[in-house]
Amino acid sequence: ARQQEAWWPIVKGIFNSVRVPATLLFLLGTGLSQATYAFVAASAPTLAVQQLGFASDEYSRFASLAGFCMGIAGALAAPVFVKLVGLRNAMNGVTLGLAACSVIAGASYSGWETAGLFMAIYWLQLFLSTALVVVSVVWAMRICDPAIAASLFALFMAAPNLSRSIMSGWSGFLVESVGYGGTYFVVAAVSLASLAVLLLAKFGDERVAAQLQDNQNA
């Protein structure tokens, strides 16, 4: 009943949404939250193969299994987190968990003699990253006006994907500059920055969701 049948109301609704500081902060925060995914995609393979002695095919099997298992687990666990502690607290907890994983990895990296701790942290990072994506999707859907939801939601999902690509592209330079241990610390810092920005965006505040929908309909 609330579908838009003309393109101008859709464009107007998207513009009215994006110009609101809370929406801009949400886009920035979700973009920064992709730091762990960017590291896992771009730097973890070289770390595993060149530093920890994985064979290329061995790492591929490990990463595929971890991605499959933790993707399912994270997607199933996220709604449970939200139901138990609320949307904002779920986002806080998952983001702090990602930052903690990176801090532990960075602090212990120099002492890694086997791949055991790397593998454990890798699995946990994928689990928490997937859960964070699901939690972010819940809020993105909540702040979309149903009349333009498809177009606006596509924009909300494009921002973190673009950010992940940009951070992945810079990961090689970062590793060369500060090493893998230092890169873990940078990932932790970016994760904490994303948490701060999402809190500024009033993530999970239903009053903000109502205001954003009002702006889209203005």
Alpha carbons 140 and 72: distance in angstroms, whole number: 20
Residues 34-50, mean pLDDT to the nearest whole number: 93
- The model's pTM is 0.88
The DSSP code sequence of the chain is -----SHHHHHHHHHHHHTSHHHHHHHHHHHHTTHHHHHHHHTHHHIIIIIS---HHHHHHHHHHHHHHHHHHHHHHHHHHHHHH-HHHHHHHHHHHHHHHHHHHHHHGGG--SSHHHHHHHHHHHHHHHHHHHHHHHHHHHTS-GGGHHHHHHHHHHHHHHHHHHHHHHHHHHHHHHHHHHHHHHHHHHHHHHHHHHHHTTTT-HHHHHHHHHHHH-
In the predicted structure, residue 1 carries a pLDDT above the cut 70:
no
pLDDT band at 17 (very low <50, low <70, confident <90, very high): confident
pLDDT band at 4 (very low <50, low <70, confident <90, very high): low
Which phi and psi (to 5°) does residue 33 adopt? -65, -10
Residue 216: what pLDDT?
54
Residues 10-30, mean pLDDT to the nearest whole number: 81
Residue 174: what pLDDT?
92
Task: Find all residues with CB under 8 Å of 48, minimum gap 6, and list them.
Answer: 54, 59, 62, 115, 118
In the predicted structure, residue 23 carries a pLDDT above the cut 80:
yes
Based on its alpha-carbon atoms, the radius of gyration of the chain, rounded to whole angstroms, reads 19
Residue 102: what pLDDT?
96
Residue 218: what pLDDT?
53
Residue 159: what pLDDT?
87
Residue 212: what pLDDT?
66
In the predicted structure, residue 49 carries a pLDDT above the cut 60:
yes
Alpha carbons 11 and 148: distance in angstroms, whole number: 9
Q: Rounded mean pLDDT of the chain?
A: 88
Which is higher by pLDDT, 11 or 184? Answer: 184
The predicted-structure confidence for 132-157, as pLDDT tens digits, reads as follows 999 999 888 888 777 777 778 888 88
Residue 195: what pLDDT?
96
The predicted-structure confidence for 64-120, as pLDDT tens digits, reads as follows 999 999 999 999 999 999 999 999 999 999 999 999 999 999 999 998 988 999 999
How many CB atoms are located within 10 Å of the residue 164 CB? 20
Residues 167-181, mean pLDDT to the nearest whole number: 92
- CB-count exposure of residue 163 (10 Å: 0-12, 13-18, 19+): buried
Measure the CA angle with vertex 39, ends 36 and 42; round to 5°. Answer: 145
Residue 214: what pLDDT?
62
